[in-house]
Amino acid sequence: MSATNNILPSYLDSATLKEKTVFFRVLFHLADSDGITDDNELGFLIDAAKSQGIENLEELKTLSEEKILQDVKIIKNRHLALELIREMCMLSHIDNILSDEETLFIGKIGIALGVEMEKIEQISNWVIDHIIWLEQAKVIFEER
């Protein structure tokens, strides 16, 4: 098993290849939505997509937002939908700048998935708290 398989959440194990493909299309689009593409971020997404059996990576990067918003509706599993929102929130905070474009896209995906705005806000706040805890741990354990 590769290192990428070890770090990917188990909720993707039960997703179909089509759901996984849509899941990664959303993440690739989000990564590029603010016009700032981080090589580490893209490298991780590419490795993660490959580990999930997704072969055509160019297809992940080239779809319009409208097409992605239509395609994401195939995700009917609420838990998978909530995990996608969580992953989007995590990804959007990687560069410590949550842009308006990222926020808007997360909201649009949430609506397409039938996730309430209150739930999206709750997930986003949890992600921010998680990041703060990780930063505090670095200070406490003198890892800076």
C-alpha closest to that of 30 among 68, 81, 70, 80: 68
Residue with the two structure tokens 């993707």: 12
Question: What is the pLDDT at residue 7?
Answer: 52
Q: Tens digit of pLDDT for each residue in 35-44?
A: 777 787 888 8
Say what angle helices 39-51 and 17-33 make with each other, to 10 degrees.
180
Rounded to an integer, what distance in angstroms lies between the CA atom of residue 134 and that of residue 13? 27
State if pTM tops 0.95: no
If you write DSSP's letter for every residue of 84-120 in order, what string do you get? HHHHHHHHHTTTS---HHHHHHHHHHHHHHT--HHHH
Domains along the chain with CATH numbers = 13-140 (1.10.3680)
Q: Tens digit of pLDDT for each residue in 54-109?
A: 988 888 887 899 999 999 999 999 999 999 999 999 998 887 788 899 999 999 99
Give the pLDDT mean for 106-118: 98
Residue 143 has pLDDT above 90, yes or no: no
